[in-house]
Structure 1
Amino acid sequence: MAKTRILGATTAIKSVAILALLGGAPGVAIAQIAPPPSTPRTPQATPEAQNPVLPPAMRRPGATADTGPESAADQARRLFNTPARSGELPELPYEPIGKRDDAGNLIMIQDDPHYVALTVNPLLDDDAIERFRGTVAARRNRLEQGVIEHTSLMRQVLDGAINRVDVARPDTLQSAIAVVRPFQEMGSLTEDLRAEGYLTEQQWRFNWKIVGEYEQAVRAEVMRLANENDDPNGPAPMTKVTRAVLGEYLRLPLDVYNDLLGEGAGRLGDVIAAAAITDDDRAIAQDHAGAVGTASTAEARVQAMQALTGAMSPEGHKALLEAIVATR
């Protein structure tokens, strides 16, 4: 069962991929209007001149290197030269992954939309998810290693890097994209499964169809709410939406990061002892250990661990996360 939450005016809301909102092609994810959460989830139009040039990994087919729309001629040439892309998808019933509550609010899924789409893809049999389990686990491991490798970026996120984005200031956007890029470049589960031969061309395309329809519904909702809740003294609606889009690329990495901290909190003494850290960092960790130990909820423990790692040097922060994995 996919985790869900209602998208309302006072809740964190999500948007479509960054390129759709920054002037490029549709991307691969949706995002929160609120800043990326610093605490764990429940167990488990931008000015034209300001569009940055984004790396190829942040574009789907249909956008050129300058993030502009693909010409009709180029699109036709690409489609002609791409194997097995011709033909219509079969008209088969399936359960949309985006639903609305009785008040008409879009209910947002907290899981990866690509994974949820697999569970309703009518071209997949009942045993498909079991077959995909290894790929899903491998993707989680890659994400965990990415989080450990880029602990400095995670710290920037927790310190408000995304909340400093302003569409009127391209430099803030470029800085935020630099934070997001390593995690965005990990691609999507749909692409992983296709690359490993688990999805046929039609299964792959149908999964993107399901995800794309969900993204379109979210885009309409996020724009509506951003405008309805516009504060004349606050950020412009497009700044809110842009922050949201960037933040989504960090939602799953932050989930993994917080999961690591929560795991480490449960055996913090062993983790500190095993960590290859300086005496100063070890003293800092030990000073914070009491607050971690007395935290009464999972959320409070993660917050205490965030304070602990935030007080350490960047090298100590990374080494502590490595020790959490090493002491499993």
Structure 2
Amino acid sequence: MIRFDDQVAIVTGAGVGLGRCHALGLAARGAKVVINDLGVSTQGTSTGSDAAQSVVAEIIAMGGQAMAHGADVSDADQVADMVSKTMERFGRIDILVNNAGILLDKTFAKMTMADFRKVIDVHLIGSANCAHAVWPIMREQKYGRIVLTSSGSGLYGNFGQSNYGAAKAAMMGLMNVLHIEGARDDIRVNTLAPTAATRMTEELLPPEALEVLKPETITPGLLYLVSKDAPSKTILSAGAGTFAQTRVYETQGVLIDGDITPEAIAAHWEQITDPTNQEEMQDAFSQTRKYAKRAAEARNINLDW
């Protein structure tokens, strides 16, 4: 059975919705949980909410341990204070769930760059701030589990969400690098791409969809991604009880002999995009080796690489 006894987890945006469900799920399985919530609307404006304290009370009532912290994740100093107070209270940090987010939807033509930047600051910079603050602690412990939160809007696109989509697509790039850099110290980094009925989706989905897309159908996937035997560098898509892995593949491609021109690209387009034997690249250098090796072989060059 997956348990988190004696482990400490920070969950951002944990006052309501999916974050609250994640926090309660961790606490139910033994974790001490830091409930981070700034108390804002989905647009990022302050509501003076005491939601975080309410979740803390729920966890204490079920016999668990929890504390609240209202750090704005886009502010590195406030995040540092949250991590410092967590260490003072609990002495370690094993799990970080980056869940906090806002929406400022408009078509790209009508969106201000200030609104574009604000969403990036909360989702991407906020996730990086939190991961950066706990990183030295996890390295010292030789153990850590970090989950970033993406979305179908970032993986596949969604009308009116250029800021949100860009921020959510960035989670994959951040995960890929942190996975590589954290492997030596058993820091595993994954991405959850949920489709859930939350404050951020209630106005976008019909009532029937909201009924089946409850956060409780997603949190079990999150709990696996932060468990001792979790994978790393995995994008787990989840919604309504369905779980799937999202992957990025590269086709085998074509080496163009002779003049490399736009016309040559056009002439070979069907072969370039042929999915036969497509593969996952393990890192950026894997792609570099693939291209260099193919070119060297075509020129009878022995590339020992």
TM norm structure 2: 0.29
Q: Which has more helix, going by share of residues?
A: 1
Q: Which has the higher contact order (CA 8 A, sep 6+)?
A: 1
Q: TM-score, normalised by structure 1?
A: 0.28
Structure in which a larger fraction of residues adopt strand: 2
